Amino acid sequence: MQAIEREIDRNRRFKGTFSLLMIDIDYFKEYNDRLGHLKGDRVLCTLSNLIEINTRQIDVVSRYGGEEFTVILPGIEKENAKIIAGKLRELIEHYHFPEQEGQPSGNLTISVGLASFPEDAETAKELIDKADKALYKAKESGRNRVCVYGVDVQ
């Protein structure tokens, strides 16, 4: 939250833009319940490392809670953020996590919601809420997809 607020302050001052990705691991509860919390924790660590090494050094990757992550993409407008989110989604879909074959889709996947400042929101809370609405739409629409606030959901 503090990183998002700092990014909003910076972008207000310099009239810039940034995007926020909300990422959730699809069917993670099933994986965790089936294989145990230690293996679930390893998946969380592996996934966060994959996101971090496949984003820029100035991007901010954070665990938001449970199996949710956020990625702040400074200077990235919605159109390019969607491309980045799609690449991360594909990367995770094709990565081989231990014992993922028992997942409903046969592998671990992520759903991603995306919103941008200032286009979609003026405050950190609004931006998170809108990215979260887009994430909910991605999950509701079948998971393993990227949904964009203002395009896929209002």
> Does 154 map to a domain?
no
Q: What integer best gives the mean pLDDT of the chain?
A: 95
Residue 111 lies in a domain: yes
How many domains does the chain divide into?
A: 1
Q: What is the CATH number of the domain that holds 25?
A: 3.30.70.270
What's the chain look like in SS3?
CHHHHHHHHHHHHHCCCEEEEEEEECCHHHHHHHHCHHHHHHHHHHHHHHHHHCCCCCCEEEEEECCEEEEEEECCCHHHHHHHHHHHHHHHHHCCCCCHHHCCCCCCCEEEEEEEECCCCCCHHHHHHHHHHHHHHHHHCCCCCEEEECCCEC
pTM equals: 0.95
Tell me whether residue 67 is one of the annotated catalytic residues.
yes
Q: How confident is the model at residue 119 (pLDDT cuts 50, 70, 90)?
A: very high
pLDDT above 90 covers a percentage of the chain that reads 86
Q: Residue 60 is part of which domain span?
A: 2-148
pLDDT in tens, 141-150: 999 999 999 9
Kindly report, residue by residue over 69-96, the tens digit of the pLDDT. Answer: 999 999 999 999 999 999 999 999 999 9
Looking at 5, 7, 67, 99, which residue is catalytic?
Answer: 67
- Summarize pLDDT for 20-37 with one digit per residue, the tens: 999 999 999 999 898 988
